[in-house]
Amino acid sequence: MNFIVIVSIFVICLFLMETFRHAYINITRPELKTVRKRLKRLPSIAYESDDVDILRRRRYSDMAWLNSLLGAMPGIRKLDDLILQANLEYSIGFFLLLTPLLAVFGYFAGHALTKGGEIVPVSIALVLGYAPFAWVRQKKKARMQAFEKQLPDALELIARTLRAGQPFAGGMSIACEEFNDPIGTEFQRTLDEINFGFSVQDALKNLAARVDCPDLSFFVVAVAIQRESGGNLAEIIENIAHVIRERFKLFGKIRILTAEGKFSAAILCLLPFMMALLLFVVNRNYFVPFMEDPTGKKIILAGFVMMLLGVLVMRRIIRIKV
């Protein structure tokens, strides 16, 4: 217990020091925030060089020792890509320091509420510890959905600019001006990579790797093939936009057809809890033995397991991939 307290105090102090340092720098030198925001738009994929390395590297934390430590840990790159896809200004070091802080807070809060036992405090600690990454995943998912909705209009705009005689980079630049985040932001990063020396194919490949959107890969592959073999790029892009719109229509029909299954799954999941609450209110003596008797606890546990299996089966049934 003493070891947990010492580690908790250390993590809290480390997090507070990092927070105060960031706050002090942002207050005294606000121009650094603008510079860092512009630097994040520059390409983070670098070529190997044995002599001199003048290319920008992605930093996981502003603290040198923490950045080196995170760089050697496996799986950090995927978490950092998740933060980039969510377009958050915080570094991965911030989230890795926030996670244990919330977990420790949840653990002690659970102990203060339950006055004994380890199941509830540990459960609260796990939930609060995972909360920052769940929030990042939700932000990323919402941003990628917005990207998919904007993509057909952006592709049609690029196709019209190509028909008007503009170059491909000019069409992407106009799309950046006409669309807000996420299309405008991601296309602007691609243009920055092209301006800093990347080829169009490499910049588009980085865009496809940076954005989790299957429809975008059609556009990237089409542009790469057209630049190698030639062809009417404007017509190709218009066809891709048309295909994406038709897929959206198909997704809408699938959502309508599976709405009944989702509603049935929700009803079946809520029904046991509603019946338990009703029995507890109407006849408490009938329900209490389930909570006190060992056999009743086993029945409740078996019911949870069967309900979880039923949810997984129904999820597989109503989940249709296109």
pLDDT digits (tens, 9 = 90+) for 118-143: 777 888 888 998 999 999 999 999 99
Distances in whole angstroms, Cα of residue 69 to Cα of each of 60, 112, 172, 181, 260: 9, 34, 38, 32, 50
Task: Tell me: pLDDT of 201 over 50.
Answer: yes
Residue 65: what pLDDT?
65
The pLDDT tens digits of the residues spanning 224-259 come to 898 888 889 999 999 999 999 998 888 888 888 888
The tally of CA atoms less than 13 A away on the side-chain side of residue 247 is 16
Taking every pair of C-alpha atoms in the chain, what is the biggest distance, in angstroms? 81
> Which are the contacts of 129, defined by CB distance < 8 A and separation ≥ 6?
99, 100, 102, 103, 106
Confidence of residue 293 (pLDDT cuts 50, 70, 90): confident
pLDDT at 308 over 90: no
How do residues 40-85 score in pLDDT, each as one tens digit? 555 444 333 344 444 445 666 666 666 677 777 777 888 888 888 8
Q: What is the pTM of this model?
A: 0.71
Q: What is the reported pLDDT for 135?
A: 93
Cα of 58 vs its chain's centroid, Å? 18
Q: How far apart are CA 22 and CA 165, in angstroms?
A: 48
